[in-house]
Amino acid sequence: MRDSIHKYFKVGTIQWMSYPPAKYGLLETVKKIGCDDFFDAVEVTHVADDDVRKKLKELIETSHLSVCFGAQPCLLGSGANPNHIDEEKRQEAEKILKDAVDEAEYLGAKAIAFLAGKWEEETRDTAFAQLVKTTVNVCRYAQEKGMGVNLEVFDFDMDKAALIGPAPYAAEFAAKVRSYCSNFGLMVDLSHFPTTYETSKFVIQTLRPYITHFHIGNAVVIPGRPAYGDKHPRFGFPDSANDTEQLLEFFRVLKQEGFFNEEHPFHLSFEVTPYGDEDADVVVANTKRVMNRAWALLED
């Protein structure tokens, strides 16, 4: 592809995945990302310390990075479930997401992202209705601030075991929420396609009207192998599902389906994380290298 990828996408990385804060810190790594003009965006999550949050906001503004806010860790870390069949527990998750909207607004983000909670077969329909209720309420709250809400599609039986996806079920859910709220969309992740037993073409074509955000990454879906499940290892990881070929196909489908938008580029972020003793900088460089190669092979 002769045009730069940056013409059509705001390329970012998920800070807490690429640089796990416990080992690499927050402000230091956001500064690293902000100093790297390969990145147009950074995805961050909840910051408990008011002073650190203020410094993060200043750093993002100075860097001219577009900022995205992921509320997934807010739910996973607390065990909150936005589709809990117990109404009080559902409301607890809704409160966490509304707080995330407030924090995202403060940091300058235009949307938040979250994921569905775990589910049980016998209560699936009730859980679906509960998730619609939560999502609509959060969307209406976000709409008052001119913000959007994105639900990330996860595996349903491998690791996160979230209510949403697979893709057809995600489409059903998105259509329901969109009938109430126009500021809702779906986030799709290349690394999740193998975990839902689906392909780029199937997922993107099935969810096309609702997709608002993209992630790329890798997964191991062979039980018993290192990094099995939703662990987001680097491209080229042993026994993994995605590499340059799969990312190239992902780009081909995005191009065919009209997602190359130079006037209003979509966010497209790395979702990779070091495994074991791997170095985060090397893993990020790996992802850039794979992206550059796949993009170079993409037909004009």
Give the pLDDT of residue 147. 98
pTM for the full predicted model:
0.95
Surface-to-core class of residue 102, CB atoms within 10 Å of its CB (0-12 exposed, 13-18 middle, 19+ buried): middle
Give CA–CA dist 146/48, Å, rounded: 24
Amino acid (one-letter) located at 125: D
Give the pLDDT of residue 86. 97
Give the pLDDT of residue 165. 85
Give me the domains of the chain, ranges plus CATH numbers.
5-297 (3.20.20.150)
Contacts 24+ apart (CB under 8 A), 31-35: 31/59, 31/63, 33/63, 33/65, 34/59, 34/60, 34/62, 34/63, 34/65, 35/63
CB 251 within 8 A of CB 295: yes
Give the pLDDT of residue 185. 98
Q: Which of 27, 8, 7, 10 is nearest to 19 (CA)?
A: 27
Q: Which residues of the chain have pLDDT under 50?
A: none
Give the pLDDT of residue 33. 98
pLDDT in tens, 218-233: 999 999 999 999 999 9
